[in-house]
């Protein structure tokens, strides 16, 4: 039995990336340690400039998490208590949580079963006089239907904040995700396509006033120290994370192409399995496969996941409970059948830029056996 067969295959393996960048990462860490500056500062400003240039936006505002980028982003766009924000029930809790934190109300719209993203065709029916914003999530690295979303936003005077936590470097009609709406929020959680080695996040916008408000809110509501103008947050970016992310950013496009190549290999390996639904890539989008998520038929998902674990293949379920069924929102009487169906059927297979064909063949063989 070879080494691959003897070991558990993880959902994500960061070690090849760390090995590749070891010397550069070490140099960046040593530079920060020697500087004695560990919160914000020149490294953060440099990364913000680098990040904004990559996306082609005017402003990038570093924060301590993707969640704070959503919270602060909504407030910077003028969303507050009593407002409604239309969003998806099929995402990590932080998406809706950010809305609730600022005193607004998340309004859930069911998902498109092909992309698992917000079904843009159902948004208009949920718009009321209290609706202030739409917050699409580009789930798994796949763009939401931004044409329809932006058309509705223009028609009804709504703000659009893109939750781009899982889709950095992804595109829609040639435009980078996170730059199409009024603003975009990004997470650099270590598992993301551009991941820090701790928590970090970024808010981006082309609006000068929105950027100024976001910068104020991330530092206790002040632009000048000890001159607090509004109640804000302690959401400053860690200098070490900015330095590490600055090393990694130039590699992202190559890593995204490698993820896409890995996705193609999976499609070739798994395409003939009856009933198995492979990821859909919309023709107008460039999917960057933060996750390679398949749909298991006939309510067999949990059984299949257990069999894969026994075969040494790790998997994850994103997400086993749709947000509207979590305890905090479960009494709101939503009926969202596509999100509920997906939650019981999806499973994400191991994927990372350096995953080898041999590992993918083992995963595919294990999945075929588990379904057999």
Residue 161, φ and ψ in degrees, nearest 5: -115, 115
In a domain, 7, yes or no: no
Q: Alpha-carbon distance 179 to 175, whole Å?
A: 7
Structural domains of the chain, count:
2
**Of 250, 275, 294, which residue is a domain's last?**
250
For the chain, what is the radius of gyration of the CA atoms?
Answer: 21
pLDDT of residue 134: 98
DSSP 192: S
Regarding whether 296 and 167 lie in a shared domain, the answer is no
Q: Do residues 184 and 61 share a domain? A: yes
Whether residue 149 is found in the same domain as residue 287: no
pTM of the model: 0.94
The mean of the pLDDT values for the chain is 96
pLDDT digits (tens, 9 = 90+) for 105-131: 999 999 999 999 999 999 999 999 999
Residues 172 and 279 in one domain: no
Q: Does 2 reside within a domain? A: no
Q: 194-235: per-residue pLDDT in tens?
A: 999 999 999 999 999 999 999 999 999 998 888 999 999 999
The pLDDT tens digits of the residues spanning 147-195 come to 999 999 999 999 999 999 999 999 999 999 999 999 999 999 999 999 9
Domain boundary among 235, 250, 265: 250
Q: Which domain holds residue 331?
A: 251-371
Query: Are residues 95 and 208 located together in one domain of the fold?
Result: yes
Report angle CA 199, 239, 13 to the nearest 5 degrees: 40
Confidence label for 6 from pLDDT (cuts 50, 70 and 90): low
Whether 205 and 269 map to the same domain: the answer is no
DSSP-assigned letter for residue 166: T
Helix (H, G, I), strand (E, B) or coil at 112: coil
Beta strands in the chain, from DSSP E residues, in sequence order = 59-63, 84-87, 105-108, 131-135, 159-163, 171-172, 175-176, 183-187, 201-205, 222-224, 227-228, 285-286, 292-295, 346-349
Looking at the structure, do residues 287 and 148 belong to the same domain, yes or no? Answer: no
Helices (H), 163-311: 208-218, 239-248, 252-270, 301-310
Residue at which a domain ends, from 192, 226, 250: 250
Q: Is 114 within the bounds of a domain?
A: yes
Same domain? 266 vs 358: yes
């Amino acid at each position: 039995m070879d080494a691959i067969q003897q070991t558990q295959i993880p959902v994500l393996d960061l070690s090849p990336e760390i090995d590749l960048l070891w010397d550069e990462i070490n140099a960046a860490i040593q530079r920060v340690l020697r500087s004695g500056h560990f919160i914000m500062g020149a490294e953060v400003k440099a990364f913000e400039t680098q990040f904004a240039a990559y996306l082609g936006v005017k402003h990038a505002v570093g924060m301590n998490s993707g969640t704070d980028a959503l919270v602060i982003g909504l407030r910077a766009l003028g969303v507050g208590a009593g407002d409604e924000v239309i969003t998806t029930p099929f995402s990590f809790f932080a998406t809706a949580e950010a809305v609730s934190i600022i005193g607004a109300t998340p309004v859930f719209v069911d998902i498109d079963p092909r992309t698992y993203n917000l079904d843009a065709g159902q948004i208009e029916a949920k718009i009321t006089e209290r609706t202030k914003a739409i917050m699409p999530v580009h789930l798994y690295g796949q763009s939401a239907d931004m044409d329809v979303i932006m058309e509705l936003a223009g028609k009804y005077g709504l703000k659009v904040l893109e939750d781009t936590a899982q889709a950095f470097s992804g595109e829609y009609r040639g435009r980078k995700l996170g730059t199409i709406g009024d603003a975009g929020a990004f997470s650099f959680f270590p598992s993301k396509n551009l991941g820090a080695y701790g928590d970090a996040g970024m808010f981006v916008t082309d609006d000068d006033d929105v950027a100024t408000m976001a910068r104020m809110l991330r530092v206790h509501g002040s632009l000048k120290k000890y001159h607090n103008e509004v109640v804000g947050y302690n959401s400053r970016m860690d200098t070490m994370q900015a330095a590490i992310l600055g090393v990694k950013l130039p590699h992202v496009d190559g890593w995204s192409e490698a993820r896409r190549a890995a996705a193609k290999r999976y499609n070739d390996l798994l395409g003939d399995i009856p009933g198995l639904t492979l990821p859909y890539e919309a023709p107008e989008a460039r999917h960057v496969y933060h996750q390679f998520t398949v749909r298991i038929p006939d309510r067999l998902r949990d059984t299949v996941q257990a069999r894969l674990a026994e075969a040494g293949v790790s998997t994850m379920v994103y997400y086993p409970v749709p947000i509207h069924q979590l305890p905090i929102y479960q009494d709101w009487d939503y009926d969202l059948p596509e999100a509920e169906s997906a939650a019981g059927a999806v499973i994400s297979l191991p994927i990372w830029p350096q995953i080898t064909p041999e590992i993918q063949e083992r995963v595919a063989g294990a999945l075929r056996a588990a379904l057999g």
